[in-house]
Amino acid sequence: MDFQITWFVLWGVLWAVYFMLDGFVLGAGMLHRFLGKNDTDRRVIINTFGPVWDGNEVWLITAGGATFAAFPTTYALMFSYLYTALLLLLFSLIVRGVCFELRGKMESDSLKGVWDTTIVVASFLPALLFGVAFGNIFQGLPMDAAGYHGTFFSLLNPFGLLTGVLFVLLFMVHGALYLTVKTEGDLSARALATANRLWPVLLVVAAVFLIAVYPATRLYDNYLRVPLLLAVPLLAVASLLAIRINTAKGKLLTAFAASCLTILLVVATGIIGLFPNLIPSSLDPAASLTIYNSSSSQYTLKIMTAVALIFVPIVIAYKIWVYRVFRAKVTSQDVLEDEHSY
């Protein structure tokens, strides 16, 4: 059994699930101040994801942990080469969590306004930085046997920024659809209208991204080598179109499910294109970090696989239970009556 391939697949699944789950929290956070016309609306928005947002972060920690344990060389060099960007990402996620917990404890409207603005910024930055990071990984980092030859600002190249914008729009549409199904009345209607306005922009950016991938990266090589794999990006396009079709029909839960599927398939498209690379080199292909030259020993991967087979199903079952428990819509009456709400 090729445990490197097994853990590459699991690594991709962890990132895809994280972006699907935390994506709607990041999206709702970015829209928080704009959709919430008053303090009650904003409390409702935070309470739609309040019971689940920190649990979603477990998938990010697991993805990082899996990288560290399965591909330690990639983990070490990634955190060295992308240190500034990852540090900004970490600070943004920390500040966002602090905002969620402390905003409701402020008595002053002006202080609440500061926290509201911070939530927007601290939700936007991770979405953008995740996209920029993956965009640069897709096209390859300027590294060779002597090390990394780029800077933080060299990451802000056209393709990296394009991928960042794609992630931001994906999460904003995802978050708007989540709020549409989790709220009622005017707030739900505003969220739906926002999703409908953002969707055409997302479609254009996604089309530009698919075109830009060819000259900027080698992601299409695997698809040209195995044409059957083209089903994945084609399904991603189909699910993106299904979002608009279902919102037009008023099938809001189905539209949100299509958004979830879109994010999963978009990430899968990138991961499949990377294989067997984890971080390709734009200077010297021999310096690329792959699942073979940066992995742990076969024995370590074997033990990790056994542990994953036991605990991953438990985590999935727990997440399903949590979302089932908190499946009800959140209303203004709920947050006004519950003194422990956000």
Count helices and strands (H / E) in the chain.
Answer: 13, 4
Distances (CA, A) of 58 to 163, 292, 313: 24, 27, 14
Identify whether 7 is part of a domain.
Answer: yes
Secondary structure (3-state) at 147: strand
Identify whether 303 is part of a domain.
Answer: yes
CATH code (residue 140):
1.20.1630.10
Identify whether 337 is part of a domain.
Answer: no
Q: Spell out the per-residue pLDDT of the chain, length 342, in tens.
A: 689 999 999 999 999 999 999 999 999 999 999 998 888 899 999 999 988 888 888 899 999 999 999 999 999 998 888 889 899 999 999 999 898 888 877 777 788 888 889 999 999 999 999 999 999 999 999 998 888 898 888 999 999 999 999 999 999 999 999 999 999 999 999 999 999 999 999 999 999 999 999 999 999 999 999 999 999 999 999 999 999 999 999 999 999 999 999 999 999 999 999 999 999 999 988 999 999 999 999 999 999 999 999 988 998 898 899 889 988 898 888 777 666 666
Structure-block tokens of residue 293: 């030259």
Identify whether 80 is part of a domain.
Answer: yes
Q: What is the pLDDT of residue 113?
A: 84
Domain span including residue 220: 3-326
- Report CA torsion sign: 169, 172, 173, 174: positive
Identify whether 340 is part of a domain.
Answer: no
* Overall pTM surpassing 0.85 (yes/no): yes
Whole-angstrom distance, CA of residue 242 vs CA of residue 255: 7
| Structural domain count of the chain | 1
Identify whether 186 is part of a domain.
Answer: yes
Q: What is the pLDDT of residue 340?
A: 63
Q: What is the pLDDT of residue 1?
A: 60
Identify whether 332 is part of a domain.
Answer: no
Q: What is the pLDDT of residue 341?
A: 67
For residue 341, with 0-12 CB atoms within 10 Å meaning exposed, 13-18 middle and 19 or more buried, which class applies?
Answer: middle
Residue pair 185/329 in contact by the 8 Å Cβ criterion? no
- At 88, phi and psi to the nearest 5? -60, -40
Identify whether 342 is part of a domain.
Answer: no
